[in-house]
Amino acid sequence: MLRLHGFPISNFYNKVKLGLLEAGIDFEEVRTGPSRTEESFLRMNPMGLIPVLEVDGRFLFESSVMLEYANTVFQPTPALIPREPFAAALVREITAIIDLHVDPPARRIYDVATGSTYSSELVESVRHDIEFALRGLGRVAAFDPFIAGEHFTMADAAAWATLAITDQCMKELVGRSPLACCRGLPEYMTMMNERPHVKKVARGQMAALRAGRMRRET
Ligand SMILES: N[C@@H](CCC(=O)N[C@@H](CS)C(=O)NCC(=O)O)C(=O)O
């Protein structure tokens, strides 16, 4: 049995959770907070971050590594990463756009969801960087109907997990969605939001966000 350590506020935790659910791979969730100082946590993830995937007492870090591992070992159909090399490369490229170009700017404002406030200069700079990354995404994404083609892949898990929270935070801060600057993306997110496993992950995230907001208000 796989054990996914982390917390459902985290987009990277939700990326792995959604990928495993969609691939039909059994796992249990273990509520664990990140720590850069606790030796017991650093033994699981030397970078002090969540998520962590526990496999028979061994620990994997980095969300894409976890889904690559699950895909190799469990060989789900459809695959989280297709066999054909260019199709696999596209899944990894889209995952990289999301994880390396959308998440870093968006991460600066995620805490608006639990009540933080930011300067207008910071919000404007974040908006600019997110929209640039999303226009880049629009140049390669298939939306046919999934982000890399015909089947759900790791790229969809990465995209939904980061874009849902990014969209929510930017709407709260600037009153409009950044998704519109990537043609096909708003419709894709609507389609994804109807999927039962996406609904399940979203419910877990909403509950964790509500709890976070309540903690800050008390
Ligand atoms: N590249 C990592 C990123 C993981 C990450 O950034 N995790 C965040 C939560 S979404 C975290 O643990 N942050 C705690 C911290 O920065 O101290 C992955 O893909 O797993």
Q: Pick 85-217's CATH classification: 1.20.1050.10, 3.40.50.620, 2.60.40.10, 1.10.260.40.
A: 1.20.1050.10
Q: Which residues contact 137 (CB under 8 A, 6 or more apart)?
A: 94, 97, 98, 102, 182, 185
Among 73, 79, 82, 76, which Cα is nearest to 2's? 73
Tell me whether the CATH fold assigned to 2-74 matches the one assigned to 85-217. no
**Domain coordinates in residue numbering, the chain:** 2-74, 85-217
Residue nearest to atom 10 of ligand 1 (CA): 10
Q: How many whole angstroms from 62 Cα to the centroid of ligand 1? A: 8
Q: How many whole angstroms separate alpha carbon 175 and alpha carbon 30? A: 35
Residue ranges of E strands in the chain: 2-6, 27-31, 52-55, 58-61
Ligand 1 atom at minimum distance from 50 CA: 12
Give the global pTM: 0.97
Confirm if 12 and 161 have CB atoms less than 8 A apart.
yes
3-state class of 27 per DSSP?
Answer: strand
Q: Tell me, which fold does domain 2-74 have in CATH?
A: Glutaredoxin (3.40.30)
Entry field: residues in the chain:
218
Q: Is the CB of 162 under 6 A from ligand 1?
A: no
Three-state secondary structure call for residue 4: strand
CA–centroid distance, residue 63 to ligand 1 (Å): 9
Predicted confidence pLDDT, tens digits, the chain (218 residues)? 899 999 999 999 999 999 999 999 999 999 999 999 999 999 999 999 999 999 999 999 999 999 999 999 999 999 999 999 999 999 999 999 999 999 999 999 999 988 899 999 999 999 999 999 999 999 999 999 999 999 999 999 999 999 999 999 999 999 999 999 999 999 999 999 999 999 999 999 999 988 887 777 77
The verdict on the CB of residue 10 being under 6 Å from ligand 1 is yes
